[in-house]
Structure 1
Amino acid sequence: MSTRNDPTIPKLGVRSTRQRAAVVNVLRDLDAFASAKTIHEELTRRNYRVGLTTVYRTLQSLADIEAVDVLNMASGETRYRHCDTDEHHHHLVCTDCGKTEEIEGGPVEAWAQQAAQAHGFKLTAHTAEVFGLCSDCAPRHSAS
């Protein structure tokens, strides 16, 4: 089911603008976490006139209302992805092509709660992302 140019895009938040809808459309079409720069380049390729600063502001406001998943890379770069679910989840991310699968936390949830309690913390949030090579990229790396 395609979500391209869907006028009833959920999670736009209070400020539903043409630029915001364009950013969300691009995010929905991508199958990976993407940087603001990559999203801006895709908007430009699609002939949307949205400035890079607007893309950054839009992504931040979408992150604030938890309408996008946010991945902070070790390099310091922040990447964004459209949420497929409203439920708490984690991600399996290919380190080569960026393909991303949403996964349940399983034992991570209990571990986070136990670790917080053991150190006198009240758990308010946690993130856990799993990195590896997807089935398309793994064969290229095993040959090297």
Structure 2
Amino acid sequence: RVLYVDIDVHHGDGVEEAFYTTDRVMTVSFHKFGDFFPGTGHIKDTGVGPGKDYALNVPLNDGMDDENFRALFRPIMQKVMDVYKPDAVVLQCGADSLSGDRLGCFNLSVKGHADCLRFLRSFNVPLMVLGGGGYTVRNVARCWCYE
């Protein structure tokens, strides 16, 4: 069982769609919602058939900062890890959730972004970290060097 976690400012729609009907991969996406590309990821979108309740969407508003993101991310991911018990975790670390990104609208610092990685590492489950969005080159470089 694999857990896919997406902290890119955009909804992880492609991965969610690929696994929407299975319980073998659970997807969790923390993203900007509403009038924002791709316009998907409603909190009520939770999967279908055998995949019912294996897609979790956490739609967020503009301006999400480290403190508020952490206050949501940690308890939600703690519960997901406790209940789903994945054999491996894939974390998509899109840097467009960082403050100052040209296309993003969150205010996460590099430290706040890295806190998500540290928290998931604390479960001692195999973890693969992937890049994603990031439209301000300096932010992307800082993010990957820090993490």
Q: TM-score range by the shorter chain?
A: under 0.3
TM-score (norm 2): 0.28
Bigger radius of gyration among the two: 1
TM-score (norm 1): 0.28
Q: Which has the higher contact order (CA 8 A, sep 6+)?
A: 2
